[in-house]
Structure formats: structure tokens, C-alpha cells
Amino acid sequence: MSQHHPAPATGGDPLPTDVDFTNPVTAQVAVFAMLAGLTELHPTLPGGYITTSQCTPAEAHVLLDSPADLEAWRQATHTDVLDVQLTEASGGRKLLFAASVGRIGLRVFTVFGPASSAVTA
């Protein structure tokens, strides 16, 4: 391993100590189970870039390709349309919402350019 990434459990790991990195992958099982259940209920739900972390094992972030994909996830999670936010992002806009599915927190978002750049691209 490199000097910046020593072998696990060998000491000298440069990771910060103010975050709990000791949660095993089993702490994230609830996220995986919720996602599996959601896809069983909504088999045509658009796929996305989904992340979860040992630091926040009861939370998942979902990056989607388009506003239409975000709308499908909003409906599947029974999130009120008024809970969707539109913000400025570098080079475009971001639509996002937060939802709870059981004990799991979801942060769902998509980033897109202005309509004129989408048409000319």
C-alpha cells in the first residue's frame, strides 16, 4: 500500500478521527433492504448513482439523470411536490428532495443545464 493509504489495521491511517469509521457493512443493510423493497414495488423506477456511507449508515444519496427521473422517485417515495427544491448549481440547476422510507433517509437530486444548452448539446 502507498504511504498515503497504509494497509488496514496497521496504524498510521491518515483518516480523520472525529468520524466513526467503525460501523461494519451490516450497519448499512437497512439501506440495501429499503432499496430492494422500493424496486420490487416500482420495477420501472429509473436507476441512478446511489451512495451510502459507514458514517451515515441509515442514509442514501441518489443522483439521477433528469428531472423526469427525479419525478418518478418523488412519486415512488410519496414525497409531496412542495418538498422538491430548485437551487442553482455550478453550470446549471439542481432539483432535490429529502424523503424518509421507513428508518432510511434519502437525498434525491439531479443536476441539469438551462434548456437552451440542453437543446444545443
d(CA 104, CA 57): 9
Mean pLDDT, the chain, integer: 82
Reply yes or no on whether the pLDDT at 5 is more than 90.
no
81-113: pLDDT as tens digits: 999 999 998 878 999 999 999 999 999 999 988
pTM: 0.75
Q: Kindly state the percentage of the chain with pLDDT values over 90.
A: 60
Q: Tell me the one-letter amino acid at 20.
A: D
End-to-end CA gap in the chain: 42
What does the pLDDT read at residue 113?
Answer: 83
In this predicted structure, what is the pLDDT of residue 54? 85
Separation CA 119–CA 23 (nearest Å) = 45
CA atoms of 26 and 44, how far apart (whole Å): 27
Mean pLDDT of 67-88: 97
Residue 118 confidence (pLDDT): 52
59, 31 contact by CB (below 8 A): yes
Q: How far is CA 17 from the centre of its chain?
A: 24
Write a three-state SS string for 7-35.
CCCCCCCCCCCCCCCCCCHHHHHHHHHHH
Question: Is it the case that residue 44 has pLDDT exceeding 60?
Answer: yes
